[in-house]
């Protein structure tokens, strides 16, 4: 979605947990909801896209792309922003670890026009970080966006399930024959352009957004 929306994401915030972290998605989503409420208030309203991943230690962490501009050469503005973000997240998760206060968040300016797409693609390819730890329950959504972040499809392809599986053949993360197809395919549009016949494939078809 970061690649095909009219929203211009300008910054990325990363939220991590301290040594002690929740293994229940309901708690994590509550913390995220609280942080997004704070972020909208702090920015005076912003458009955002977030995605959830898991660190090697099993802890959830969250990336948030959002569109609020800040003065490009005002270091103090970013220093103040980083401090506000770290304090807000530290308070929301109820952390008592002083190290977490200084290292539990990260704020980055996306310096290039396609910076959001680059970051989203980079993190999307980290499939190991999409694997849900066995002890984690109530997973819920792994990503979402504010209502005003609407995808602008690059194109549509009509295809059968066999066509889709054929196009994904050779991709190391392709689902096997007994695994349902992914609802989201990260950065695989070219496979469909190269392999699918644009002619009507029959009645048993589905739309693939590229």
Domains assigned to the chain: 11-145 (3.30.70.260), 156-209 (no CATH)
Note the pLDDT of residue 8: 83
Closest CA to 39 of 59, 17, 65, 18: 65
Note the pLDDT of residue 162: 87
Note the pLDDT of residue 179: 85
Sign of the alpha-carbon torsion through 183, 136, 140, 106: negative
Note whether 137 and 39 are within 8 A (CB): no
- DSSP summary character for residue 128: G
Rounded distance, CA 45 to CA 85, Å? 15
Note the pLDDT of residue 136: 93
Rounded distance, CA 135 to CA 58, Å? 9
Closest CA to 192 of 150, 152, 158, 145: 158
What are the average pLDDT values for consecutive 10-residue runs of the chain, which has 210 residues? Answer: 72 94 96 97 94 92 90 82 96 93 90 61 57 90 87 70 86 84 71 58 45
H-type alpha helices, 8-67: 25-43
**Size of the chain in residues:** 210
The SS3 call for residue 191 is: helix
Note whether 67 and 7 are within 8 A (CB): yes
Note whether 53 and 61 are within 8 A (CB): yes
Note the pLDDT of residue 204: 45
Note the pLDDT of residue 148: 87
Q: Which residues contact 169 (CB under 8 A, 6 or more apart)?
A: none
């Amino acid at each position: 979605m970061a690649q095909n929306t009219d929203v211009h994401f300008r910054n990325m915030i990363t939220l991590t947990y301290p040594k002690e972290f929740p293994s229940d998605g309901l708690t994590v989503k509550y913390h995220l909801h609280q942080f997004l409420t704070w972020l909208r208030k702090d920015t005076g309203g912003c458009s955002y896209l977030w995605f959830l991943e898991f660190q090697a230690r099993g802890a959830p962490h969250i990336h948030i792309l959002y569109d609020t501009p800040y003065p490009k050469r005002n270091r103090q503005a970013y220093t103040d922003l980083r401090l506000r973000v770290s304090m807000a997240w530290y308070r929301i998760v109820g952390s008592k670890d002083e190290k977490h206060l200084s290292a539990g968040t990260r704020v980055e300016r996306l310096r290039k026009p396609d910076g959001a797409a680059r970051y989203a693609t980079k993190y999307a390819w980290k499939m190991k970080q999409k694997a849900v730890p066995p002890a984690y329950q109530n997973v819920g959504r792994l990503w979402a966006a504010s209502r005003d972040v609407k995808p602008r499809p690059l194109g549509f392809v009509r295809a059968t399930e066999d066509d889709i599986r054929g196009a994904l053949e050779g991709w190391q993360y392709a689902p096997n024959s007994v695994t349902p197809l992914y609802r989201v395919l990260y950065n695989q549009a070219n496979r469909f352009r190269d392999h699918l016949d644009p002619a009507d494939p029959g009645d048993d078809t589905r739309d693939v957004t590229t």
